Structure 1
Amino acid sequence: MAQVLIVSESKLLSAGLSKLLREANPPRTVSEAASGEEALEKIRLQRPQVILLHVGHPVGNGMRTLHLLREKAPDIPVLLLLDAVDDEVVLLAMHAGAAGCLDKGVSAESLLQALSDAAVGEITLSERLASRIARIIAASGGDRHQQVYPDHLTRREVEILSFLACGLTNKEIARGLFISESTVRAHLRAITQKLRAHNRVHAVARAVEMGVIPAAEPLGEGRPLH
């Protein structure tokens, strides 16, 4: 039985989510916290398997809580539930180590599956969010005929590297780019060969080092997110 810690400033939302999880099949053991500091105390006492973090408005509060949880409890996956779909917030969250992002309109079935996936180390993005992030990455690539990448990387390979840097699985990358998983695997083989990388993690590190993709950006106190 999975143990879930819900972190939200909204008591009403926490109560609704708790009821949903306790009545699920199989039921989840649920605890609640209203802040990052309270969440750390619950973690110390109960050691949940996964954290469901609600990011409302302003989003800076939720993002600071994410960074706090990732710093103090890096072994516990944190799944984000977003009030509003914000492309920059999703990218920052994935770079910060979130186990996934779901928009608030997600179905109960999808939420339960995402929590189960997060508990075993899988990354989850709702289909709408994956598609939006794919468009951002594609739009940032510039003109495919003029852009030149190190070691003859193609524009598509750079897009996939950007997804890898966010921690997405092959399945999530395929869904976001509207290609098959076998095509993703073929691109990954080409990427590791071109970057002389041992694996996908090493490929991302090499790409960041070479300036192909940006390094994860820390969330600055003065940076507006809303």
Structure 2
Amino acid sequence: MGEPMWVNVVATDPVLEAGVTSALLGCPDIAVVTTRERAVVTVLVVDHLGREALDAVRSVRAGADRPEVVLVVPEVEPAEALWAIAAGARGLLRRREATADRLTRTVLAAGEGDCTVSPDMLDRLLAAPTVPAGTLASNISDRERAVLRLLADGRETGEIAQELCYSTRTVTSVVHDITRRFRLRNRAHAVAFALRAGML
């Protein structure tokens, strides 16, 4: 047996942090380390998969050691799962599914570079019609592509406008045009469509 994988746990709730840490300590292939030590995988336990959680994923991934991230959340919709994966998460588990066995398997898979989501979530993600590679990329302007990339990063309309030096009205109009042209339901659907097309 080789060296154990170094993993740390970050949670706003100390009870949840202790529970996740305890579950991981039962696996001989994992060594739990503090957040000040180098880790191959960071387990983030969040209360809600919103902007703050996505920013936390990006922040961890941008660290010096660039650890992989496994997110543990109370609930998650398929569109939110796409946001999390686009932000850099390698694993995504609902709390009710995060048994010791499931959690350790997800963490070990993330450390090996695999991406893990719940089977039912994967089924729902794959249920959408497929998009032929290049379809979106060949029918979209550079401005629309730039807006979609920032949407995939979880940016709000005002932030996108500021970064691209557009008015908020222009950004809103661009998103509206994309969703109408490709018959998409909302922003998350637009990002999912772009991801499936291989553009983002």
Task: State the TM-score, normalizing by the size of structure 2.
Answer: 0.63
Give ranges in structure 1 of 5+ residues lacking alignment: 33-38, 142-155, 162-190, 192-205
AA aligned to 1:126 is S
CA distance in 2, matches of 1:75, 1:68: 9
Q: Displacement, 1:82? A: 1.4
Q: Displacement, 1:93? A: 0.9
CA distance in 1, matches of 2:66, 2:49: 27
**3-state SS in 1 of match to 2:152:** coil
**3-state SS in 1 of match to 2:7:** strand
Q: In structure 1, what is the equivalent of residue 21 of structure 2?
A: 18
Q: In structure 1, what is the equivalent of residue 126 of structure 2?
A: 134
Deviations 1:125-168 (A, max 9, x none): 11122122223xx1xx4xxxxxxxxxxxxxx4x2xx7xxxxxxx
Q: In structure 1, what is the equivalent of residue 111 of structure 2?
A: 119
C-alpha contact (below 8 Å) 2:9/2:43 kept by paired residues: yes
**3-state SS in 2 of match to 1:99:** strand
CA distance in 2, matches of 1:88, 1:209: 21
Q: 1:207 to 1:98 in 2, by over 3 A?
A: farther
CA distance in 2, matches of 1:127, 1:134: 10
CA distance in 2, matches of 1:70, 1:207: 30
Match of 2:7 among 4, 24, 27: 4
Is 1:80 matched with 2:67? no
C-alpha contact (below 8 Å) 1:102/1:129 kept by paired residues: no
C-alpha contact (below 8 Å) 1:21/1:28 kept by paired residues: yes
Q: Displacement, 1:70? A: 2.1
Q: In structure 1, what is the equivalent of residue 62 of structure 2?
A: 71
C-alpha contact (below 8 Å) 1:101/1:126 kept by paired residues: yes
Count of matched residue positions in the alignment of Structure 1 and Structure 2:
149
CA distance in 2, matches of 1:133, 1:47: 33
Task: State the TM-score, normalizing by the size of structure 1.
Answer: 0.56
Q: In structure 1, what is the equivalent of residue 39 of structure 2?
A: 48
Counting aligned pairs with the same residue, the percent is 24
Tell me the C-alpha RMSD between the 2 structures: 3.0
Q: In structure 2, what is the equivalent of residue 199 of structure 1?
A: none
C-alpha contact (below 8 Å) 1:77/1:99 kept by paired residues: yes
Give ranges in structure 2 of 5+ residues lacking alignment: 159-187, 189-200
Deviations 1:17-62 (A, max 9, x none): 11111122x1522235xxxxxx5xx2xxx21111111121373321
C-alpha contact (below 8 Å) 2:5/2:31 kept by paired residues: yes
Is 1:209 matched with 2:200? no
Q: In structure 1, what is the equivalent of residue 32 of structure 2?
A: 30
Deviations 1:53-103 (A, max 9, x none): 112137332111112122234731111111112233211111122112111
Q: 1:4 to 1:74 in 2, by over 3 A?
A: closer
C-alpha contact (below 8 Å) 1:3/1:50 kept by paired residues: yes
Q: In structure 2, what is the equivalent of residue 219 of structure 1?
A: 154
AA aligned to 2:103 is L
AA aligned to 1:219 is G
CA distance in 2, matches of 1:99, 1:118: 5
CA distance in 2, matches of 1:96, 1:83: 18
Q: 1:61 to 1:127 in 2, by over 3 A?
A: same
Kindly report which structure 2 residues correspond to 1:87-106, keeping only aligned pairs within 5 A, or say none.
Answer: 87-106=78-97
